[in-house]
Structure 1
């Protein structure tokens, strides 16, 4: 005998755990027995849209509304589904229908604030977030959302204050730490931003957006990079690279920036390895971060050893190859801190190609190939930036509305 209440409770837990296929199976089992169970249809819509099946998700949410048009939850779920697939107008319509039936639901006000923020209607988004907070003032996610709105409006102090308040409300929230980092990054504190992004990754190692933001924060700690970033905006993006043949001194600036980034990545690796091995902090960092730090430290040691061997043997190719091995730290760290799985695969492939080239330069006795590999390793900061931008653009282009 199926107990609907138990199935709904179990499915809700599975959704929160992101075990979406298991939640779908539970809900379909209930619907096989009670095909007009409103909550099961609505929750199934959530499980489907989060699995990337928008057409069926819309169908289930509309079925829930058909069965219970005077109940706010199906309208709320429809708003979530439409927001997820980028139909903001339909999302707002569904949300407003839900609020008309129950204006005292903080999560619905939060959803409305998110949709309005997506449409760049910042003041309306802030109003919706405040309406939600009036109902649930201890909601850390709502406070984080209000902080993001302040960031979008360019309001530095309110953004920092709201983000810090969100962290105080829920110190274990990865979202709260991410938002605090975004606020610090947006208003000129990249060092504090990096600390927040590290904490985000400690709490949720799979939080990919934090990886790329950490890269940005670490780069912006470099004063030359900050100047270059501002200049690049005035000179038409990456077109500044086209000026290198006309302005040779810029080459030295780019090399210096790359070297400073390499030094920062080495320092990051040493710090992470020390925290991983420390008795009091060894449980805070594990997995990819620890392995990446170990690999990078080993690359520095191995590269220095090969460099010393080359000097001792009087072989320029071997010594240059040692330098090139050390520059692989930049390539490994840039790959590891790329949010997109496809981007990581591309950059790890690039790193492997550099490693093969370095080994080949030694085998063939080609100092020039080893030197070019060293330059390419250091220059991975720009290769990685290009890969991230390309993949981000393609991802945005694939978001198409349903017909």
Structure 2
């Protein structure tokens, strides 16, 4: 078998998504010609398809070592690092490829993708425009431009760019995803849901589209939408805490923010339950999401029952313990919506500690003060969670 024939077979297998078979072909090529830079580069792509990122990065590095002045090895290295979630080393690799081949649109598209994943939407938009200038008929740079403009808050331009991407290729999952994101951020949640459904029709395994569809379906409810936006915008910065000794009435601001967050989390649980009970939407949710929603409403019901019983019996500690139990909705939801495992464990532990304290306060003769403190601490978990996420991320 000639080297060229082996490379052609490997390319065809990669196009079909058969990375393991492509890798076997390439190992055969490299057994005959161990210093073939293109074979090492294709092997990196085959290993990337199998999510063997460390081996893929090593193969890409070998391709660059063997042909440092050829753009393809740098291009593959950037793709591998991006797939591994390593935007830091991906960007220099993409820039090295662009320095050697600045007139190839996919390189600018890759740079835009890396910058978007790095949280640099303005630079990503510039790179996407460069790609479109070189290849105006490619829908993927147009979709990336729409996503970057969405993050920049330029809703009308984002929607226009997404529609341009769809015009170029109505069957592009990326174009529908870009339109859905733009509609979700700046347009109509119902239209966003339709776009995400189209993504899942075209690419059934697209998990991001599934998650975004859930968000869009929830945001169709105006009350949920208003509370969710409030929760995203207002947390009360730490600078306000420094002003409290000088301006004590600012405590009212913190109370309003905390209670509004509690209401938003309760609305989140209600929207999740509605989706879980719907025959057509149940499969969109992970099982844990429904369990958390049930737990939150159970806490609310249990706390309300304790509050009513405390009022009826004239037992203040029981009533305040009921308020504290209802407030536990905030720490439970904050824990469930924390991605880092360590941060999630800390916040669930915090919620369990508050639940224990609330139960103990109900049995104390003068337990209303500890019960109120538990309620305040539970509502204040929005700031505790922010600190926990920063520490665990660091």
What TM-score do you get using the length of structure 1 for normalisation?
Answer: 0.70
Cα distance between partner residues in 1 of 2:382 and 2:293: 17
Q: Please state how far the C-alpha of 1:328 moved relative to its aligned partner.
A: 1.4
Q: Which residue does the alignment assign to 1:86? A: 88
Question: Conserved in 2, the CA contact under 8 Å of 1:361 and 1:370?
Answer: yes
Specify whether residues 358 and 211 from structure 1 end up closer, same or farther in structure 2 by C-alpha distance, changes over 3 A only: farther
How many residue pairs are counted as aligned between the two chains? 361
Is 1:332 the counterpart of 2:332? The answer is yes
Q: Which residue does the alignment assign to 2:203? A: none
Question: Conserved in 2, the CA contact under 8 Å of 1:170 and 1:176?
Answer: no
Is 1:221 the counterpart of 2:222? The answer is no
Is 1:149 the counterpart of 2:157? The answer is no
Cα distance between partner residues in 1 of 2:137 and 2:369: 67
**Once structures 1 and 2 are overlaid, which stretch shifts more, 115-124 or 157-166?**
115-124
Q: CA RMSD, aligned part only?
A: 4.5
Q: Please state how far the C-alpha of 1:277 moved relative to its aligned partner.
A: 0.9
What TM-score do you get using the length of structure 2 for normalisation?
Answer: 0.72
Q: Please state how far the C-alpha of 1:262 moved relative to its aligned partner.
A: 1.4
- Residue-by-residue CA offset, 1:52-99 (whole Å, 9 max, x unaligned): 63xx55441132345677976433202334663514334301244355
Q: Please state how far the C-alpha of 1:150 moved relative to its aligned partner.
A: 2.7
Q: Which residue does the alignment assign to 2:161? A: 162
Specify whether residues 295 and 199 from structure 1 end up closer, same or farther in structure 2 by C-alpha distance, changes over 3 A only: farther
Unaligned runs of 5+ in 2: 201-205
Question: Conserved in 1, the CA contact under 8 Å of 2:214 and 2:285?
Answer: no
Q: Please state how far the C-alpha of 1:220 moved relative to its aligned partner.
A: 5.9
Specify whether residues 364 and 126 from structure 1 end up closer, same or farther in structure 2 by C-alpha distance, changes over 3 A only: same
Alignment of 1:166-205 (within 5 A): 169=170, 175-176=177-178, 179-180=181-182, 183-184=185-186, 192=189, 204=207
Question: Conserved in 1, the CA contact under 8 Å of 2:159 and 2:179?
Answer: no
Q: Which residue does the alignment assign to 2:293? A: 293
Q: Which residue does the alignment assign to 1:369? A: 370
Specify whether residues 286 and 57 from structure 1 end up closer, same or farther in structure 2 by C-alpha distance, changes over 3 A only: closer
Cα distance between partner residues in 1 of 2:241 and 2:23: 56
Specify whether residues 358 and 124 from structure 1 end up closer, same or farther in structure 2 by C-alpha distance, changes over 3 A only: same
Question: Conserved in 1, the CA contact under 8 Å of 2:150 and 2:182?
Answer: no
Cα distance between partner residues in 1 of 2:128 and 2:258: 40
Q: Please state how far the C-alpha of 1:376 moved relative to its aligned partner.
A: 1.5
Question: Conserved in 1, the CA contact under 8 Å of 2:143 and 2:161?
Answer: yes
Specify whether residues 331 and 199 from structure 1 end up closer, same or farther in structure 2 by C-alpha distance, changes over 3 A only: farther
Cα distance between partner residues in 2 of 1:294 and 1:26: 46
Q: Which residue does the alignment assign to 1:398? A: none
Greater RCO, 1 or 2 (C-alpha within 8 Å, sep 6+): 1
Question: Conserved in 2, the CA contact under 8 Å of 1:266 and 1:297?
Answer: yes
Q: Please state how far the C-alpha of 1:247 moved relative to its aligned partner.
A: 2.0
Alignment of 1:2-401 (within 5 A): 29-30=24-25, 32-35=27-30, 36=34, 41-45=40-44, 47=47, 53=54, 57-65=56-64, 73-81=72-80, 84-87=86-89, 88-98=91-101, 103=104, 106-115=105-114, 121=123, 124-131=126-133, 134-137=136-139, 139=140, 142-151=141-150, 155-163=154-162, 169=170, 175-176=177-178, 179-180=181-182, 183-184=185-186, 192=189, 204=207, 221-222=229-230, 226=233, 237-365=237-365, 366-392=367-393, 394=394
Q: 1:134 is paired with a residue of what secondary structure?
A: coil
Q: 1:245 is paired with a residue of what secondary structure?
A: coil
Cα distance between partner residues in 2 of 1:167 and 1:380: 43
Question: Conserved in 1, the CA contact under 8 Å of 2:74 and 2:94?
Answer: no
Question: Conserved in 1, the CA contact under 8 Å of 2:9 and 2:25?
Answer: no
Q: Please state how far the C-alpha of 1:111 moved relative to its aligned partner.
A: 0.6
Specify whether residues 383 and 364 from structure 1 end up closer, same or farther in structure 2 by C-alpha distance, changes over 3 A only: same
Unaligned runs of 5+ in 1: 16-22, 395-403
- Residue-by-residue CA offset, 1:278-325 (whole Å, 9 max, x unaligned): 234333334232222222122212222222232333322222111111
Cα distance between partner residues in 2 of 1:362 and 1:390: 33
Question: Conserved in 1, the CA contact under 8 Å of 2:155 and 2:182?
Answer: no
Specify whether residues 340 and 13 from structure 1 end up closer, same or farther in structure 2 by C-alpha distance, changes over 3 A only: farther
Q: 1:221 is paired with a residue of what secondary structure?
A: helix
Question: Conserved in 2, the CA contact under 8 Å of 1:116 and 1:124?
Answer: no
Cα distance between partner residues in 1 of 2:353 and 2:215: 23
Specify whether residues 264 and 85 from structure 1 end up closer, same or farther in structure 2 by C-alpha distance, changes over 3 A only: closer
Specify whether residues 263 and 303 from structure 1 end up closer, same or farther in structure 2 by C-alpha distance, changes over 3 A only: same
